[in-house]
């Protein structure tokens, strides 16, 4: 059974904190993605990675960075959390048929 796991289901952080969201996939997929999901806006791509140590900005990269040191792990970093980064964060990997496999999501609240 294919699986994408995310380190936390719920997180509450304070403004200015550095936040790490971890994602692990067990399908040996090359490409991995981080999205944020907000009501009425759908899924918006923050960053994606097409290989170890390779990354590209998505549509809304400001305020975020990523790290991919191993193929199975893709981390999203909020350098200095702000209240407008309160959102649901979804990690995904993709197979050769373009099917995206999503993790369960991390609901992040920044106060």
Partner 1 sequence: TQLLEQSPQFLSIQEGENLTVYCNSSSVFSSLQWYRQEPGEGPVLLVTVVTGGEVKKLKRLTFQFGDARKDSSLHITAAQPGDTGLYLCAGPTGGAQKLVFGQGTRLTINP
The residues of the shown chain that bind partner 1, judged by CB under 8 A, are 4, 9, 31, 33, 40-43, 45, 48, 50, 56, 58, 90, 92, 94, 97-100, 102-105
Whether the Cβ atoms of residue 88 and residue 109 lie closer than 8 Å to each other: no
Q: Which is nearer to partner 1, 90 or 108 (CB)?
A: 90
Which residue, among 85, 87, 58, 68, has the nearest Cα to 23 in the 3D structure?
Answer: 68
Q: Which is nearer to partner 1, 17 or 73 (CB)?
A: 73
Question: Rounded to the nearest 5°, which phi and psi values hold at 37?
Answer: -125, 120
Least distance between partner 1 and beta carbon 43 (Å)? 4
Q: Which is nearer to partner 1, 67 or 100 (CB)?
A: 100
Least distance between partner 1 and beta carbon 50 (Å)? 5
Q: Which residue is it, tokens 């959102």?
A: 87
Least distance between partner 1 and beta carbon 70 (Å)? 19
List Cα–Cα distances, 69 to 7, 24, 51, 54, 83, in angstroms.
16, 12, 9, 9, 28
Least distance between partner 1 and beta carbon 12 (Å)? 16
């Amino acid at each position: 059974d294919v699986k994408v796991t995310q380190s936390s289901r719920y997180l509450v952080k304070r403004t200015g904190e550095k936040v790490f969201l971890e994602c692990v996939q067990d399908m040996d997929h090359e490409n991995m993605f981080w999205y944020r999901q907000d009501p009425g806006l759908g899924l918006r791509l923050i960053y994606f990675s097409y290989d170890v140590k390779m990354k590209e900005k998505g549509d809304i990269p400001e305020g975020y960075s990523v790290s991919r040191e191993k193929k199975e792990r893709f981390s999203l970093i909020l350098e200095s959390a702000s209240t407008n980064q309160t959102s649901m964060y979804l990690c995904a990997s993709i197979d050769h048929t373009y099917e995206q496999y999503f993790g369960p999501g991390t609901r992040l609240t920044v106060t």
